[in-house]
């Protein structure tokens, strides 16, 4: 879950951040004996029993599987999309629409289906006006949804209209959209002044790695049985959350679906005599174990490569991993190696996912690549001069030139590929 503030998850009257909610769930799962591997699954083989699951680092076997890989909102990928992502451009009106930045401002929704119409109606609660940008001659939404939009005096529908690009204000927030007439393919001269643009053009489920071994619908969403809402077309493989849910897509509905899938899985394993009992730690043991692990970590000698270099007193160019602007400046000017810079921020959930993953990949290049982590809250001027508008962002430099920029969290193989390419080029030069 990559969202920041979650206000509608039951049990958190003050709200909770997405990363904190995930961390609490993680701790709870660990206490109940779960083993966690933070890796991307690249392929599965459902023709074998036990099933085979492969990541880049290992192959695992399992008598039953729950697929909970979620769905990624589709975007138009206009040229300045990354620049205004989370600074006016969003893919979730229900999640972000209530933000004070949008209150009583004109907003736009892109799309003409049921989701886009629903988002447009929803946003009228906060916006002064909502512009619905429909690519075709008419809306694809159901008649009921169309009527709701057309009956609302707060929604203006623009047919045959698509977004070409966006422009921002001096603070770097979205200010206007450059539109195009899809019928004539001509740009519309007058920019549409809006503070927010929300995509309502559907979601792509994260099911590519399944390689069509399961029944999915035409959009790739896993088809689950009507009976228990979690069984799939392969016996022993279950589905939970947004990877099959086209309609509700909320943290609480995904959690509920996960619970259904877990119970179905337990029943399946029991019926097939495959159930293996794992003893849960009692609360006292768990607390003691967590305390002991914390103590051990505090006492353990720090691994050399993980020790951050913050200033002149502890900077050592022979180390691979560093932190902060002092190290960045030194390495930028003095390191003969390719330099990887990761920009993070304290509230960024995806940064927490990326850090250990990137660290594992960097360990493979311990003597050949330098690394610096920059917290943009601590070093805002560095982030500004590097043009950072969102985190995590990884930039790779060679001979003082920026050679690659990777926004968001990608698979380990993508980082490996870029790092290796830079090393090959270095040795060839």
Ligand X SMILES: Cc1cc2nc3c(=O)[nH]c(=O)nc-3n(C[C@H](O)[C@H](O)[C@H](O)COP(=O)(O)OP(=O)(O)OC[C@H]3O[C@@H](n4cnc5c(N)ncnc54)[C@H](O)[C@@H]3O)c2cc1C
341 is a site residue for ligand X (CB under 6 A): no
Structure tokens, 325: 């602007």
Q: Which residue is nearest to ligand X (CB)?
A: 241
Shortest separation between residue 392's beta carbon and ligand X, angstroms = 13
Shortest separation between residue 296's beta carbon and ligand X, angstroms = 28
82 is a site residue for ligand X (CB under 6 A): no
How far apart CA 8 and CA 146 sit, in angstroms, is 28
CB-nearer residue toward ligand X: 98 or 386 = 98
Q: How many chain residues touch ligand X (CB under 6 A)?
A: 26
User: Which helix (H) or strand (E) segment is 187 a member of?
Assistant: strand 186-187
173 is a site residue for ligand X (CB under 6 A): no
16 is a site residue for ligand X (CB under 6 A): no
Residues 254-313 that bind ligand X (CB under 6 A): 254
Among the residue ranges 64-72, 123-131, 286-294, 394-402, the one whose residues contact ligand X (CB under 6 A): 64-72
Reply yes or no on whether 95 is catalytic.
Answer: no
6 is a site residue for ligand X (CB under 6 A): yes
CB-nearer residue toward ligand X: 255 or 310 = 255
Among the residue ranges 66-74, 170-178, 183-191, 388-396, the one whose residues contact ligand X (CB under 6 A): 66-74
Query: One symbol per residue from 202 to 241: x for binding ligand X (CB under 6 A), - otherwise; what is it?
Result: ----x--x-------------------------------x
Shortest separation between residue 85's beta carbon and ligand X, angstroms = 10
376 is a site residue for ligand X (CB under 6 A): no
| 380, 324 Cβ separation under 8 angstroms | no
| 8, 250 Cβ separation under 8 angstroms | yes
How far apart CA 82 and CA 19 sit, in angstroms, is 21
Shortest separation between residue 422's beta carbon and ligand X, angstroms = 26
How far apart CA 18 and CA 96 sit, in angstroms, is 13
390 is a site residue for ligand X (CB under 6 A): no
166 is a site residue for ligand X (CB under 6 A): no
1 is a site residue for ligand X (CB under 6 A): yes
Interacting residue with ligand X among 16, 30, 92, 269 (CB under 6 A): 92
β-sheet bridge partners, residue 280: none
Interacting residue with ligand X among 19, 70, 205, 392 (CB under 6 A): 70
Residue 337 DSSP symbol: S
User: Which helix (H) or strand (E) segment is 421 a member of?
Assistant: helix 412-428
Find out whether the peptide bond into 50 is cis, omega within 30 degrees of 0.
Answer: yes
| 216, 207 Cβ separation under 8 angstroms | yes
Shortest separation between residue 139's beta carbon and ligand X, angstroms = 23
Shortest separation between residue 341's beta carbon and ligand X, angstroms = 23
How far apart CA 185 and CA 182 sit, in angstroms, is 5
3-state helix, strand, coil in the chain (%, to 5): 35, 25, 45
Among the residue ranges 65-73, 106-114, 312-320, 333-341, the one whose residues contact ligand X (CB under 6 A): 65-73
Residues 31-60 that bind ligand X (CB under 6 A): 40-41
β-sheet bridge partners, residue 341: 372, 395
8 is a site residue for ligand X (CB under 6 A): yes
Interacting residue with ligand X among 83, 178, 249, 398 (CB under 6 A): 249
Catalytic residue, chosen from 95, 117, 351, 393, is: 351
Q: Are strands 401-407 and 393-398 parallel, antiparallel or unpaired?
A: antiparallel
**How far, in Å, are 43, 82, 150 from residue 417 at the CA level?**
19, 22, 50
CB-nearer residue toward ligand X: 214 or 423 = 214
182 is a site residue for ligand X (CB under 6 A): no
Reply yes or no on whether 117 is catalytic.
Answer: no
How far apart CA 168 and CA 84 sit, in angstroms, is 8
Structure tokens, 241: 């959350």
How far apart CA 359 and CA 346 sit, in angstroms, is 18
Structure tokens, 109: 């929704």
**How far, in Å, are 30, 32, 90, 199, 216 from residue 38 at the CA level?**
13, 18, 26, 29, 25
Binding-site ranges for ligand X (CB under 6 A): 1, 3, 6-9, 40-41, 68-70, 73, 91-92, 95-96, 206, 209, 241-243, 249-252, 254
Catalytic site residues?
Answer: 348, 351
């Amino acid at each position: 879950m990559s969202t920041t503030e979650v206000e509608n998850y039951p049990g958190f009257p003050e709200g909770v951040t997405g990363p904190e909610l995930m961390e609490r769930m993680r701790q709870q799962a660990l206490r109940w004996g779960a083993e966690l591997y933070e890796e991307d699954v690249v392929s599965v083989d459902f023709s074998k029993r036990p099933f085979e699951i492969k990541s880049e680092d290992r192959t695992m076997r399992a008598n039953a599987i729950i697929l909970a890989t979620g769905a990624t909102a589709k975007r138009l990928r206009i040229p300045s999309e990354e620049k205004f992502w989370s600074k006016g451009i969003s893919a979730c009106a229900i999640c972000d629409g209530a933000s004070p930045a949008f209150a009583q401002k004109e907003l736009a929704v892109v799309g003409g289906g049921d989701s886009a119409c629903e988002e447009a109606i929803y946003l009228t609660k906060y916006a002064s006006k909502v512009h619905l940008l429909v690519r075709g001659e008419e809306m694809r939404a159901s008649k009921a949804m169309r009527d709701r939009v057309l009956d609302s005096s707060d929604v203006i529908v623009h047919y045959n209209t698509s977004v070409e690009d966006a422009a921002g204000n001096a603070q770097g927030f979205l200010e206007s959209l450059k539109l195009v007439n899809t019928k004539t393919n001509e740009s519309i001269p007058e920019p549409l002044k809006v503070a927010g643009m929300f995509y309502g053009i559907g979601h792509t489920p994260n099911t590519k790695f399944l390689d069509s071994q399961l029944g999915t619908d035409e959009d790739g969403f896993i088809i689950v049985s009507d009976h228990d809402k979690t069984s799939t077309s392969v016996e022993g493989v279950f589905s939970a959350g947004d990877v099959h849910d086209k309609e509700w897509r909320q943290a609480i509905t995904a959690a509920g679906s996960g619970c259904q899938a877990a119970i179905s899985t337990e029943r399946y394993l029991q019926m097939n005599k495959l159930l293996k009992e794992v003893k849960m730690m009692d609360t006292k043991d768990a607390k003691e174990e967590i305390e002991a692990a914390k103590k051990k970590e505090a006492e353990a000698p720090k691994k050399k490569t993980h020790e951050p270099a913050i200033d002149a007193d502890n900077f050592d160019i022979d180390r691979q991993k560093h932190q902060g602007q002092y190290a960045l400046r030194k390495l930028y000017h003095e390191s003969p190696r390719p330099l990887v810079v990761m920009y993070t921020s304290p509230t960024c959930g995806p940064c927490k996912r990326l850090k250990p993953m990137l660290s594992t990949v960097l360990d493979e290049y311990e003597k050949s690549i330098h690394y610096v982590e920059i917290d943009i809250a601590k070093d805002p001027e560095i982030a500004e001069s590097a043009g950072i508008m969102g985190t995590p962002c990884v930039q790779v430099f060679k001979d003082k030139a920026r050679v690659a920029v990777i926004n968001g969290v990608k698979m380990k193989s993508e980082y490996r590929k870029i790092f290796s390419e830079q090393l090959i080029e270095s040795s060839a030069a």
